[in-house]
Amino acid sequence: MKTLKFKTNINCGGCVSKVTPFLNKQEGVESWEVDTANPDKILTIESDGASEEDVKATLQKIGFNAESVDVR
């Protein structure tokens, strides 16, 4: 299992609702959450095969940006 983190523009409950079906169906994504209280709106994904590129492509298809951030 690998943890991926992204700075996003998923900034409210409505946005989270919009991405939910896509991230839930994303192959290789075990679990995910968005910290909308964080100024950078950090999306954390527990990946079991999904790559950063896969996640970015999925979010871009539905109108959201994702920029990889280092996992510390």
**CATH domain 2-68 topology:** Alpha-Beta Plaits (3.30.70)
Note the pLDDT of residue 71: 63
Token pair recorded at residue 64: 């959201």
Note the pLDDT of residue 14: 94
Q: How far apart are CA 4 and CA 17, in angstroms?
A: 20
pLDDT tens per residue across span 24-41:
999 999 999 999 999 999
Q: How far apart are the first and last CA of the chain?
A: 15
